[in-house]
Chains A and B, each alone.
Chain A
């Protein structure tokens, strides 16, 4: 079945630094990927839709200059959290659409100290 690999699974960084999270579709091509953020004991909130070869579409309230998304190939989308702050600490999850289905990565736990 469709597999989405997300790395790293866990990262700790200092305030002010940037962190890159990768999302790869391993056995299929994904023209569209999605990035979600999840705070403890809450649901997944869509941050942005990543489109291969074009600019990402951000949801209302998500700063595009802070959360940089690059979808340079049909199997890789990256999310870079720039100038991270403690309030950016969260669980970030990517998803790729294959046909009518959606496959999720295993998530990245970001802790900003």
Chain B
């Protein structure tokens, strides 16, 4: 289930299930979006990106969906594994401006 904590919402999933992490972005002019994974005490790790001229992009076990109408981005992780436990951030950029990060979601995988 999903719960909103003091700062970061948390999504708990059973190992092997699919995870869906959502993100609402702020700027309708944004043309580039990235999902990052961050483990405790480390910098963000690139997962997958998508440009605004696409609405779906697939990687290995991950899929990003972009809905520009409602400014919504989602990350789907198939067959979630314990190693997927981390905080996930979406980030947006437009015309090569600095990345602006969303609030983040903590994914907790239950073995």
Contacts and interface: CB of A to CB of B under 8 A. Distances in A.
B59 interface: no
Contact of B89 (A43, A46, A109): A43
B43 interface: yes
B7 A44 contact: no
B44 A104 contact: yes
Nearest to B51: A100
Interface residues of A, number: 24
A100 B94 CA distance: 11
Interface stretch (B11-19, B62-70, B77-85, B101-109): B101-109
A106 B8 contact: no
Nearest to A46: B98
B99 interface: yes
Majority SS at the chain A contact face: strand
Main secondary structure of the interface of B (DSSP, over half): loop
B41 interface: yes
A91 to B, nearest CB: 8
Given A43-B89, A107-B43, A102 B6 contact: no
A36 B36 CA distance: 15
A75 interface: no
Given A41-B8, A42-B7, A102-B34, A109 B99 contact: no
B60 interface: no
A46 B49 CA distance: 20
Contacts of B43: 6, 93, 104-107
Interface of B: 5-8, 32, 34, 36, 41-46, 49, 89, 93, 96, 98-104
